[in-house]
Amino acid sequence: MSGGKSGLPPLQGDQALAVSPADQVWLSASAGTGKTQVLTARVFRLLLEPGVNPDAILCLTFTKAGASEMANRINAQLAAWVRMSDTALAADLLSIGAAVDKDTLTRARRLFARVLDAPQGGLRIQTIHSFCQSLLASFPEEAGLAPGFRPIEDRDRIQLARDTLGEMLVDAAQRGDTRLSANLEALSLKLGAEATEAFLMRCAAKPDAMDALVGDIRPYINAALGLKTDEDGSDLARLCSDALFDIANLEALQDSNIRWGTKTGLENAAKIQAWLDMDEAARLEHLDLIWLAVAKADGDPRKWESFSAKVDPDYFDKAESLYSDCRALKDHAALVAFSGEFARALEVGRDFAWRFAEAKRQAGLLDFDDLIRAAADLLSGRTMAQWIAFKLDQRFDHVLVDEAQDTNPSQWAIVKGLIDDYFSGQGSKPDRFRTLFTVGDFKQAIFGFQGTSPQYYAAARLRIGAQAETAGQPFLDLSLDRSFRSTQPVLDMVDAVLGDLGPAALGIMDDTLPLHEGRQGPGMVELWRPIGEGLDDPDEGGEGEDAEEWLSGADRKFAQGLAERIAGWLDPQSPTRLWLERRSDGKPGWAGAGDIMVLLRRRGDLASLIVARLYASGVPVAGIDRLRLGQPLAVQDLIAAIRFALQPLDDLTCAALLVSPLGGWTQDELLAHGYRPEKRALWPHLRDLAEHDPALRAKLEPLYALLGMADFGTPYDFLEQVLTGPIQGRAKLVSRLGEEALDPIAELLGLAQKFAVSHDGGLQAFLHWFDAGDEEIKRELAGQSEMVRVMTVHGSKGLQAPIVILADACVDPTRKVDSSFDWPVEIIGRDAQVTLPVYSLPKAQRIGPLAEAHDIAREADMQEHWRLLYVAMTRAAERLYVGGTLGKKAKEPPKESWYAAIERSFMTLGCDWIDMGEGACRRFGSDAVPIPRADEPEAVEAASAESLPDWALMPAAPEQRPPIPLAPSSLGKDDVASPPLTGPDRERAAQRGLIMHSLFERLPALAPDQRREAARRWLARQHGIADAAEADAIIDPVCAVIDHPEFADVFREDALAEAPIAAVVGPNVVSGTVDRLLVEEDRVLVVDFKTGRRPPASLEQLPVAHVRQMAAYVAALRLIFPGRAIQAGLLYTSSPQLFLLPDELLAATKLD
């Protein structure tokens, strides 16, 4: 028989033991050791066993991509076996340790057909969520679910949660329940809207915890904090009484300070006396009077040793005693305050959780957590569980769990329910062939945000091993440490880093970590010097015509340098072109774009900038592995088309659509045709002009077409017509934005199809649904073989590349914005423990049990931080590069950063800084500068691309910034008393005003002695103003204003420049950008700059338009910052003079 060739590599060592079909196997597999090969070989061995049916095998994977890859690999191999020669087939079977007799060969050839004919449609290779959904669909009544339930999409989940919250508040108002609304208001003011929503969703994700909090919640919290269950703070003042407070020690301390006789001592004594003269309540309120006598502002003890021992040798003991008393009292008061605050927050969270669960139940919806929880309950030993287990017992004889380290306790409970009978009853008898196979790696547990932990993995191994031992069944605890991916030098550096960190840093309980054995061949690790802010002028990015104006100069420099370096690696004419001993296709050759992977800890502006710089350098790049559906410009343009079709009188939408690729206008055309009388909408204005202008009518045809399609068909039909109909939207978008626009366009169409299946309504309903959440697109970059891949480390799991770059290795993991955590709490009166969600707390409130829970959570975060580094480093097969940027004030990488850990290992290995022409670096490896050998064949040149049409070779027109929307600055005609300039003078004056605004935004952040020189450089570079006199004419008034002592608050370091403001004020939408915004605890100062030639001399002469503009900002800020005093000012820079606007003046010009 002829056919294909043998393709399976022979298994070695523990690999061969792990595929033994009769044994229970727990396999620990380090990165690159061939665990997917072993997993598929195990499936082949099971299928080859007589009596094993394909539908009796269940493979549980972590991701859909993993499930798809495994299924494709298995099906392709089984298909190859059908027509493979006997010799080749026998070689494959020998490679996986199977017999090669005639019966086995025959059985192997028939497996493909047997799998296709299996009752369940083939092998069951599923994610755990997919399995739970199918399980619950088979037993909906037993699970207490409505038949026909469906998983809820993220966007539907967000919308349903918001609807539930709104209904909860309406219901509370109708019942006169002011407590609920007051509690929610307090929570929102404390956390902000986004964090409040996140807290409520965390409560909803813990239904068991919410159900356990019966009745009044505060006693549970008090007990968990070590307080009396009925403590509410009313008795706190009594702790400051003469009877309970150590007054004698305090008076002795006072006497010592008096005898000291210094200014500080006398001040301390006076404060102590003032405190002693107060009643108990006042003493509690003013406890800081005596606290600060022995403590610094940050709460640490003062250096009492400086107190003269000659005055009072016992002063140290007295001060320490007072410090301890005050510390205990302050901590006690803080715990009491937190208990009340947190209990009120949980009341809201509990009510929301109950209502959200009921809303999902009525709609027949389940989220991912619900799927796992319901399936675990179904198999956990409750009513009907034994019958369910019996039914499943007849179905699955062999369970394989991939990525077991990323399985959380609820998911382990499901696995337990599936396999418990393997070790007892009929399932443990010799005539019943049933097995469990798990594969995972402690070091690659990186999904803690999904509730996973290496400890759960370890606990499952101990439990299952004990079950197998009790049942007298073989249990093989095996490990794979030989990498077939990375060369030895790369793994030597990995081992050096892990050895320096130690197992405990990764959360691993073993005394030592096994060393890695890599494949032979050249390999190199290179550490680049980090880019610091001090290396760049902060304004290198210019006027900010794109998103890069928000990025630091260091990020821009790093991204540009990285793009240039990669371009050099790929350029045949470059002296830095890279040669690889093994490219992605397994052959030697010059590096290609598909051999490079850029990894980052998190998605953000730096990732987008790297992609943009690679595009600009002519490097093929696949884009970012995940993106928000609302972010790509192509999606924004299509959504603008929907908005215009629904509301053509919205000027911002109309203008944005006109200058988009769909409208095809330039900014100049919009300005030429868009000028119109005040309060005249843009679309009717253009429509009227078009009646007498055929050329303008032709330019408006796309908009007329959109309006003609609005009332017909589904949202999908509308979008498809925009893309492929007369407008030819897809072609226009791709022409302007490039082929990378195709993916988000396809995703938007898919979303419109999802909407049509599960929702009623037209464009308006779809738009409301779209705006409810931001769909995240997961782009599978594994198949992008000829492009550089830019992705997060989490997204790279399971992938590899010959060249890997860690691009943000200097990130400080200790500076975590969200410090929320889970708090295990014992429920009083019953033998139960629940986990409560706690929002981010300031350090002063993290006391006792709260500090302990917070520290445990942060320790777990740090352990995952180091495990993530292991995953990142082991993606590299031959070359690993490490770089990053420093923060504004940092002089070196943070101590806990990846960069610092890797650099310590470089120094331990004796690798000093060198410069080989591409910048200073440290290098480690057996072949630091690989050169192709003389006997190597020349790399085959890629086939020439098909000829492209002329338009594809023309550069796209530069993206224009859309016009400024209607804002407070356009609320009235500018009636300032300055005669209008004409001609070139007018243009120069307008340009001068814009330049001055830019300098007002940039210069305050610099030291005073650096401002003038920085401004001169910026004017010369950005605006070509090299003449010193011309530059000084602009710089002098700007610096005079910034340096003016009366305007100190306006230009404080913590004041925001160019701050966006948006709010709904009555029927009006206020949206604009203010020049300076200072937000304090009790006051908000908003100031707008005016650069007119003739400023007003008094408040009475202020232009009404200017005052009306500020009145709109004040109205918006009063909604954004309720309870704070809002102060508005107009700063006329030519005087300079600052007018603070009284409330009476603002009220006279407020919005209608």
Per-residue pLDDT tens digits for 85-139: 999 999 999 999 999 999 999 999 999 999 988 876 678 899 999 999 988 888 8
Mean pLDDT of 807-832: 86
Instruction: State the pLDDT at residue 60.
Output: 93
The band of 389, judged by pLDDT with boundaries at 50, 70 and 90, is: low
The band of 323, judged by pLDDT with boundaries at 50, 70 and 90, is: very high
- Of 262-271, 627-636, 683-692, which gets the smallest average pLDDT? 627-636
- Report the helix count and the strand count for the chain, using DSSP H and E: 41, 29
The band of 592, judged by pLDDT with boundaries at 50, 70 and 90, is: very high
Q: Apex CA 117: angle with CA 113 and CA 122, to 5°?
A: 95
For residues 204 and 270, state if they share a domain.
Answer: no
Using the Cα atoms of residue 681, residue 684, residue 686 and residue 692 in order, give the sign of their dihedral: negative
Q: Do the strands 1068-1079 and 1083-1090 form a parallel or antiparallel pair, or are they unpaired? A: antiparallel
Which of 902, 925, 948 is the endpoint of a domain? 925
- Of 361-365, 871-875, 913-917, which gets the smallest average pLDDT? 913-917
Does residue 824 belong to any structural domain of this protein? no
The band of 779, judged by pLDDT with boundaries at 50, 70 and 90, is: low
Q: Do the strands 1056-1065 and 1068-1079 form a parallel or antiparallel pair, or are they unpaired? A: antiparallel
Instruction: State the pLDDT at residue 6.
Output: 53
Residue (of 603, 607, 587) closest to 595 by Cα position: 587
- Lookup result for tokens 């998911």: 411
SS3 at position 477: strand
For residues 537 and 645, state if they share a domain.
Answer: no
Instruction: State the pLDDT at residue 1151.
Output: 63
- Lookup result for tokens 């000028």: 675
Structure tokens at 535: 């290396």
Does residue 471 belong to any structural domain of this protein? yes
For residues 608 and 651, state if they share a domain.
Answer: no
The band of 489, judged by pLDDT with boundaries at 50, 70 and 90, is: very high
Burial class (CB in 10 A: 0-12, 13-18, 19+), 431: exposed
For residues 543 and 476, state if they share a domain.
Answer: no
CA 1118 – CA 1070 distance, rounded (Å): 12
For residues 1044 and 973, state if they share a domain.
Answer: yes
- Lookup result for tokens 């107009």: 1130
Instruction: State the pLDDT at residue 956.
Output: 52
CA 801 – CA 784 distance, rounded (Å): 12
- Average pLDDT taken over every residue of the chain: 84
For residues 435 and 358, state if they share a domain.
Answer: no
Does residue 944 belong to any structural domain of this protein? no
Instruction: State the pLDDT at residue 979.
Output: 46
For residue 1013, which amino acid is it? E
CA 556 – CA 558 distance, rounded (Å): 5
Higher pLDDT, residue 626 or 618: 618
Name the phi and psi angles at 508, rounded to 5: -105, 130
pLDDT, tens digit, for every residue of 825-835?
988 777 778 99
Which of 907, 925, 943 is the endpoint of a domain? 925
SS3 at position 476: strand
The band of 1072, judged by pLDDT with boundaries at 50, 70 and 90, is: confident
Does residue 73 belong to any structural domain of this protein? no
Higher pLDDT, residue 516 or 1067: 516
The packing angle between helices 763-772 and 715-724, to 10°, is 90
DSSP state, 8? P
CATH number for position 895: 3.40.50
The band of 557, judged by pLDDT with boundaries at 50, 70 and 90, is: very high
For 291, the domain range is: 236-332
For residues 1041 and 1133, state if they share a domain.
Answer: yes
Of the ranges 209-223, 386-400, 722-736, the best mean pLDDT one: 209-223
Does residue 622 register a pLDDT over 60? yes
Number of domains, the chain: 6
Distant-in-sequence contacts of 476-479, Cβ < 8 A, 24+ apart? 476/17, 476/18, 476/20, 476/23, 476/24, 476/25, 476/26, 476/27, 477/26, 477/28, 478/14, 478/17, 478/18, 478/25, 478/26, 478/27, 478/28, 479/14, 479/27, 479/28, 479/29, 479/30, 479/514
Instruction: State the pLDDT at residue 1095.
Output: 79
Mean pLDDT of 896-900: 95
For residues 645 and 773, state if they share a domain.
Answer: yes
CATH number for position 374: 3.40.50.300
Name the phi and psi angles at 425, rounded to 5: 60, -145
Does residue 302 belong to any structural domain of this protein? yes
Does residue 937 register a pLDDT over 70? no
Which of 868, 895, 925 is the endpoint of a domain? 925
Does residue 75 register a pLDDT over 70? yes
In the chain, the percentage of residues whose pLDDT exceeds 70 is 87
For residues 213 and 344, state if they share a domain.
Answer: yes
pLDDT, tens digit, for every residue of 273-294?
999 999 999 999 999 999 998 8
Instruction: State the pLDDT at residue 960.
Output: 44
For residues 992 and 1075, state if they share a domain.
Answer: yes
CA 706 – CA 1041 distance, rounded (Å): 50
For residues 610 and 643, state if they share a domain.
Answer: no
Does residue 1077 belong to any structural domain of this protein? yes
Instruction: State the pLDDT at residue 1038.
Output: 85
pLDDT, tens digit, for every residue of 938-952?
444 433 445 556 655
Does residue 862 register a pLDDT over 50? yes
Does residue 943 belong to any structural domain of this protein? no
Name the phi and psi angles at 920, rounded to 5: -65, 140
CATH number for position 655: 1.10.486.10
* pTM metric for this prediction: 0.74
Does residue 844 belong to any structural domain of this protein? no
CA 231 – CA 905 distance, rounded (Å): 53
Mean pLDDT of 1074-1084: 89
Name the phi and psi angles at 383, rounded to 5: -55, 135
E strands within 63-194?
124-127, 150-151
Structure tokens at 186: 């307090």
For residues 1067 and 1107, state if they share a domain.
Answer: yes
Mean pLDDT of 225-235: 91
Does residue 145 register a pLDDT over 60? yes
